[in-house]
């Protein structure tokens, strides 16, 4: 009796799958539908920042930027969302990079976000790379900063990436 019940359940499942495949229908998952409206993919944002103190090479890169107020399509930006930061500091021999950071304004409040550097070459180079979630008000200024001690010359860079959120 139990065995025939199991066969009946198995046969019903096979029948349902056969009907779905025969009708040519497809099952839509939430992952498939979200690909069409992923805001990070539709409105990406990237910015390179640089600070130099005695080691030139920043070129036309600044240490600050104003968050966009509209997208490239002219939509008003609700907020810039920074999702990843990476950077490095190169210093003269014996230099110590104590921190790298980004000052932002969100909801009208200014805060400093600090990222701890990892030593790549002792006394000469450090790196930072971190997934994050930082919000920035449109039109407000974001500013990159780096703490370097015991070094008369340094150059620090930061790259940020994320997306523009719209209503």
The answer to whether residue 87 is domain-embedded is: yes
Do 54 and 154 contact (CB within 8 A), yes or no?
yes
The average confidence (pLDDT) of the chain is 83
Greater model confidence, 41 or 28: 41
H or E element at residue 118: strand 118-121
**C-alpha pair distances (Å), 2 with each of 9, 13, 15, 16, 151:** 11, 17, 20, 22, 80
The answer to whether residue 4 is domain-embedded is: no
The arithmetic mean of pLDDT across residues 21-37, rounded, is 49
Residue 62 has a pLDDT of 96
Please, which residues bridge with residue 119 across strands?
Answer: 126
Distance CA 52, CA 91 (A): 10
Domain residues for the domain of 128 are 41-166
Distance CA 100, CA 109 (A): 20
CB within 8 Å of 2: residues ≥ 6 apart:
none
The answer to whether residue 157 is domain-embedded is: yes
Greater model confidence, 122 or 3: 122
Greater model confidence, 19 or 154: 154
Do 74 and 81 contact (CB within 8 A), yes or no?
no
Residue 122 has a pLDDT of 85
The answer to whether residue 13 is domain-embedded is: no
User: Which CATH number does the domain housing residue 127 bear?
Assistant: 2.60.120
Least confident of 29-33, 122-126, 152-156: 29-33
| Closest listed residue to residue 85, CA positions, set 125, 144, 132, 43 | 132
Is the pLDDT at 43 greater than 70, yes or no?
A: yes
The answer to whether residue 16 is domain-embedded is: no
Distance CA 108, CA 36 (A): 32
Residue 9 has a pLDDT of 54
The answer to whether residue 120 is domain-embedded is: yes
Is the pLDDT at 31 greater than 70, yes or no?
A: no
Number of structural domains the chain divides into: 1
pTM, two decimals, is: 0.74
The answer to whether residue 121 is domain-embedded is: yes
The arithmetic mean of pLDDT across residues 64-90, rounded, is 96
Greater model confidence, 3 or 142: 142
DSSP state letter for 29? P
The answer to whether residue 33 is domain-embedded is: no
Residue 26 has a pLDDT of 46
Distance CA 83, CA 80 (A): 10
Residue 41 has a pLDDT of 78
CB within 8 Å of 159: residues ≥ 6 apart:
46, 47, 48, 49, 85, 86, 87
Do 44 and 163 contact (CB within 8 A), yes or no?
yes
């Amino acid at each position: 009796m139990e065995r025939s019940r199991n066969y009946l359940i198995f046969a019903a499942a096979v029948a349902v799958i056969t009907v779905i495949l025969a009708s040519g229908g497809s099952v839509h998952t939430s992952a498939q539908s979200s690909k069409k409206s992923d805001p990070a993919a539709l409105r990406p944002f990237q910015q390179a920042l640089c600070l130099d103190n005695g080691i030139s090479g920043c070129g036309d890169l600044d240490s600050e930027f104003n968050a966009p107020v509209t997208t490239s399509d002219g939509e008003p930006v609700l907020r810039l969302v920074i999702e990843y930061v990476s950077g490095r500091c190169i210093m003269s021999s014996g230099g110590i990079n104590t921190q790298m950071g980004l000052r932002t304004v969100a909801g009208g409040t200014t805060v400093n976000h600090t990222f701890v550097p990892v030593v790549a070459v002792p006394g000469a180079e450090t790196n930072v790379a971190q997934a994050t979630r930082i919000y920035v008000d449109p039109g407000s200024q974001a500013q990159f900063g780096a703490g370097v001690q015991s070094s008369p010359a340094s150059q620090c860079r930061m790259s940020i990436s994320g997306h523009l959120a719209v209503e």
